[in-house]
Structure 1
């Protein structure tokens, strides 16, 4: 019996050229490299240049993913972009990327689940592909968070960076041993009771302004490890796997203390955790695909590996996704 699975065909990434170190931020607000690194694990982050947009970065990442997959833009019939920093209120930034790639068929739209956005976007594309509505998708995470930061608020401005990454996903009919390939299970959650713990204090219908990121750090941290661990357990149960089966854990790169705490709670070998937060900071919906790209380029993730993704973001939203590479 054939099983339709969404298989990852290629990955690609883009980071802005400008790098801001912790020492650079210490010249702006009252902080230090030691203070930031000890509490977050972050050493530096990339920041968009003037005129560089979420769509600009997303297009670069999409082209890199297509090249890695050995495909042309016309081979894609679905684009799902995860972002909280769209170019405009509307239209969706995904359609700008679609046009930049020269695609005029299929569908393109944005998904907004903040730092969980890439998990939600990939799960969305997976369902469309398995349902037979589309054949190949570009799933992109692209964020220009530096544009919504209050650079006088040291509790948030030290945490975030900009960047984009993408994956090409293809619907394939698999059978026998090969049916255990591609996206095996997804689990998505949200709870709006916590929306005031991590949010932006602006919006078209509330203030008519863009606003800035505001966060209750201790509360976010308190909920993160528990919610992440629970959704990972649910995802593994759906697919019939255990933590010991995981080859690589690619979490949202928010804070190294959260990553370490989740790994300990799950009993995961720290050497199996892909960490890029030191170089990228928190790039929201772009963080997981950026980490995926890093681990693929350096040879850690190989065909046949069991890869677990997870994230938690404002809302709260959280989720996990299991892939046989």
Structure 2
């Protein structure tokens, strides 16, 4: 049975500064052609030195309010998906509560890396369907530039910063949460990580740089196989075929991963939404950014079947099938 919840508003934000492939050519041994061929990325947005994840979240929520006309004063839970919080604690969710002066709300940060937004929306839908909450603010955001080693040409070409926010509310008449699937391969965590208090994992020493470390080849193989199978599982649960999906919104990690997933599932690349060309890989922000861009451009329409699929460090993945319930926003943010 569908959960009696739906997304009722969306907004996003990216910093002003652009880091283009031409800029990277001046920093490391790479070329625009090499980057585009392997990733599809042409530029990224980079947070200012004094701009942090909570700042990006705040701007995304402000855009949500501006474009939807909705209030967040009565939100009764805030979920922020991020692995680059301003502080170990207090959480970004608590900082948002203070920023918007929300009087009575729970606040929790969620770390499922690049799958974080999908996890957050899934959890919000469950909390509302249970009757425990009625209006939840979910934000996916990361400032990847602050944990990226810009001497490592295999990773620094990928990442950018951004935030995207949605409201999830109870709706008895037109529930939009149709099916979900998620999973974990903790043994694969060695392939994409950032060290913290410990610098070993499962007895294996890690590269202790405090920056993002990734084995791209292994992550690629895992992502393509896992997401392909996950999409098949979700469509089977919902009793639909991949032909019925109007928009696939995968984590914008790499265009080659997206193309491979499309090839294996039969979903045309033209039916995918991604944010990587102009924003790079923004981790937990990549899906809401792509979704908001699609809404603003008039691609995603009320009634469309939209499949979100996040995947990343953990290794974790989460897919969510939604019946889109929002008309085009009343205005385009500047």
Q: Tell me whether the two structures share a fold, i.e. TM-score over 0.5.
A: yes
Corresponding residue for residue 176 of structure 2: 182
1:193 equivalenced with 2:187 (yes/no):
yes
In structure 2, runs of 5+ residues without a counterpart are 201-207, 325-334
Number of aligned residue pairs: 317
Matched, 1:203 2:202: no
Alpha-carbon deviations, 1:277-302, whole Å to 9, x = none? 11111000000000000000000000
Residue 18 of structure 2: SS of its match in structure 1?
strand
Contact 1:111 1:117 in 2 (8 A): yes
In structure 1, runs of 5+ residues without a counterpart are none
Q: Does 1:27 align with 2:20?
A: no
Equivalents in 1 of 2:60, 2:177: separation in Å?
21
- Determine the structure 2 residue equivalent to 1:236: 235
Aligned CA distance change for structure 1 residues 3 and 314 (closer, same or farther; 3 Å): closer
Q: Distance in 1 between matches of 2:307 and 2:277?
A: 20
Matches for 1:28-177 after TM superposition, within 5 Å: 28-174=27-173
Deviations 1:59-83 (A, max 9, x none): 1111222333322121211111100
* Cα deviation 1:249-305 (Å, max 9, x = unaligned): 111100000000001111012221113211111000000000000000000000000
Q: In 2, distance between residues paired with 1:53 and 1:190?
A: 29
Show the counterpart of 2:328. none
1:4 positional shift: 4.9
> Could you say which residue in structure 2 is the equivalent of 1:218?
217
Structure 1 stretches of at least 4 aligned residues deviating more than 4 Å after TM superposition: none
Shift of 1:205: 4.9
CA distance in 2, matches of 1:295, 1:214: 31
Which protein has the bigger helix share?
Answer: 1
* Structure 2 residue matching 1:122: 3-state secondary structure: helix
Return closer, same or farther for 1:4/1:227 CA change in 2, 3 Å cut-off: closer
* Distance verdict in 2 for CA 1:239–1:3, change over 3 Å: closer
Structure 1 pair 206–219 and aligned structure 2 pair: CA distance change class (3 A): closer
TM-score (structure 2 length as normaliser) = 0.92
Equivalent residues of 1:204, 1:210 under 8 A apart:
no
CA root-mean-square deviation = 1.5
* 1-structure distance, mates of 2:56, 2:2: 34
